[in-house]
Amino acid sequence: MIRIKRYSKQIFSRGINLVLLILTLTIILTGCSPGEQIPTQYVFDDLGRLVGFNGTPERIISLAPSNTEILFALGLGDKVMGVTSWCDYPPEALAKEQVGEYDTPDMEKIVALDPDLILVSYGTSMEVIDGMVALGLTVFGIKSTDLDDVLNDIRTIGEITDKEMEAQALTSEMESRIQAITDQTAGLEQRPKVFYIVWGDESSALWTAGSDTFIHELIEKAGGVNICQNITGYSTISIEDVVAHNPEVIITTELSYDWAINSTDLAATNASQTDRIFTCDDDIVQRPGPRLVDGLEWFAFFIHPEMFDEPED
């Protein structure tokens, strides 16, 4: 029996209707050669592709640090055969075979590991994906754009790897922690102005995070106002504009923290004058995985220390 997993964000948002679904399945099934195994389950990935699975994946390659974190959080570390050179969490991931970068994976290494599932994410081009598919490899794309997407993608990975109970437990715990923050910040009238620095140096422009980013969502849910909310995605803003917005809280990546606290350009801001320039582990606020909730808790503490305790490391 063939099962088709249907998720509202993957299917309905892309306008895929029943006629297209039947047509796609017909092409897939009639294209199978005699003796070739026909997948028993089909799942739409975040790239709009219908991916077939025949049984539970046992040999998995992750081409994104966030996907690696999800796999280990679901108890699938023993099935992870390969990772990228950026996959450094949990520490056990460092012992796995490295297969290159997410955008330039080593195909020979990947084929040699004989995976039955390759998880890709944002940054892996369709050219690379198509190349792996042409080699007969099963590739599934994850592309989370907000916290809800992260939760849905964890559940999806749980379903295709037979870890549904673990995924449900993990997402329930994450939802509970998110709710604990938003219950206190939802009705706030006083919301400090927050500026996030992705990259800062002595130049006249700073890289920052606008709307449609994880950073923006963390700021908003933590009870702040992103001074760059009118910017879409990751872009630049002049130091003069930052000073004009006069942020009350500045959060920066670890690499830019020393520059930010010593910057004469930012000295005029309320954040600098009140010693409210902070940083935390970049990975917990920039990787769309389970630790994104840790990032939310740190942001809540930075923005509203009168309401939230400092998170435990």
Residue 144 domain-assigned (yes or no): no
Domain that holds residue 199: 189-303
Residue 219 domain-assigned (yes or no): yes
Residue 40 domain-assigned (yes or no): yes
Tens-digit pLDDT profile for residues 186-198:
999 999 999 999 9
Last residue of a domain, one of 53, 68, 87: 53
- Kindly indicate the confidence band of residue 144, based on its pLDDT and cuts at 50, 70 and 90: confident
Tens-digit pLDDT profile for residues 253-284:
999 999 999 999 999 999 999 999 999 999 99
- Where residue 298 sits, what CATH number does that domain have? 3.40.50.1980
- Kindly indicate the confidence band of residue 201, based on its pLDDT and cuts at 50, 70 and 90: confident
pTM: 0.87
Closest CA to 304 of 147, 183, 173, 151: 183
Q: What is the DSSP string of 14-43?
A: GT--HHHHHHHHHHHHHTPPTTPPPPSEEE
Residue 25: is its pLDDT beyond 70?
no
Q: Are 84 and 64 in contact (CB under 8 A)?
A: yes
Residue 97 domain-assigned (yes or no): no
**What pLDDT sits at residue 5?**
52
| Structural domain count, the chain | 2
- How confident is the model over 169-196, as a mean pLDDT? 97
How many helices, marked H, and strands, marked E, lie in the chain? 12, 14
Q: Are 167 and 143 in contact (CB under 8 A)?
A: no
Last residue of a domain, one of 53, 70, 86: 53
Residue 49 domain-assigned (yes or no): yes
Residue 210 domain-assigned (yes or no): yes
Residue 19: is its pLDDT beyond 80?
no
Last residue of a domain, one of 31, 53, 75: 53
Residue 102: is its pLDDT beyond 70?
yes
Residue 246 domain-assigned (yes or no): yes
Residue 93 domain-assigned (yes or no): no
**What pLDDT sits at residue 30?**
46
- Kindly indicate the confidence band of residue 219, based on its pLDDT and cuts at 50, 70 and 90: very high
Tell me what the pLDDT averaged over the chain comes to.
89
**What pLDDT sits at residue 274?**
97
**What pLDDT sits at residue 205?**
81
Tens-digit pLDDT profile for residues 29-39:
545 554 456 67
